[in-house]
Amino acid sequence: MPGARLHMEELFIFFIGILVSAFGTVIGFGGGVFMVPILIIFFGYNIEIAIGSTMAALVPASFIASMFNLRDKTIDYLVGTLIQLPAIVGTVLGAFMVAFLPVFKLQLIFALFVISVGFAMVIPSKKEVTTHGGMMYRMRRVPTTFIRKNKAKHLAYRLNGGVVSTLGFASGIMAGLFGIGGGFVQTPMMIKLFRIPPQIATSTSLFILVITSFTGFITHFLLGNVLWSRCLPLIAAFALGALGGNLYKRTRGKISNMEKLIGIGLFLAGIGVLLNLAIKSEVGVGFSF
């Protein structure tokens, strides 16, 4: 009887993992911010094992997604590098800042902000009008500005290397300070602030996730938080979900409601951060995902 219950639990985790990974692949978040609270709350995983299992699952999922995106030529490696390298430095700095700042209150404000932004993206108050003004418009035209062209997709967009690196650094600080992954911050940042086409932004975010998930997996493996008997169903589920998410994108072509899907993802991610906050307040342990 206990064995049958265990198999049923693994089956539930498997199917939920497929859905989470597929959705995370489509919107460029990966899915870790959704999966960790699910494993803790609904399946009784302790925090460390939930993170270790999710990190292990994200490695093949992000790699599979990036292989599809590499073939489709939708990854901007320069933007990924400009974001990721400063984000690593920011993550270290944010981890040190935990001792000096009221993290609980800041994380609560951040979660509510993410939820409100997600809600605004799903239900916009008015039709967005493209204007040739505003701070971000001017900043994209100061020195170190350049134009990126994706000939395969016939796309072009203007970027400022300094601004991209600065906001990448800021996303790293949030990751280190709040104990969260930066993917669900970086994807909407690329789309809304830098005007990078959604298909390029989501692919680039998943490329960044290949690096961050692998380093996170190695860290948690060395800490003993990766139990293969617990994470193998999730690894298989995330791999299948990544395949499904990429097949969905390929069959649908350009997803017209991508920003709304990302808004839903942000809303759910904000809920995940609140759950993360509630869990940490109960057990007194911080974690990132």
Summarised one tens digit per residue, pLDDT across range 21-80 is: 999 999 998 888 888 889 988 888 888 888 889 989 999 999 999 999 999 999 999 999
Comparing 100 with 4, the larger pLDDT belongs to 100
Q: Using 50, 70 and 90 to split pLDDT, how confident is the model at 249?
A: confident
Q: Using 50, 70 and 90 to split pLDDT, how confident is the model at 283?
A: low
pTM to 2 decimal places: 0.83
> What mean pLDDT, rounded, does the chain reach?
83
Residues near 146 by Cβ (< 8 Å), separated by ≥ 6? 158, 159, 160, 161
pLDDT by residue (tens digit) across 208-244?
999 888 888 998 899 898 999 889 999 999 999 999 9
pLDDT of residue 239: 97
pLDDT by residue (tens digit) across 145-183?
788 989 888 899 988 888 899 988 988 887 777 666 667
**Contact present, 276 and 287 (Cβ < 8 Å):** yes
Residue 77 gets which letter from DSSP? H
As a whole number of angstroms, the distance between CA 198 and CA 228 comes to 35
Cα of first residue to Cα of last residue in the chain, in angstroms, is: 33
What are the start-end ranges of the E strands in the chain?
A: 145-150, 155-160
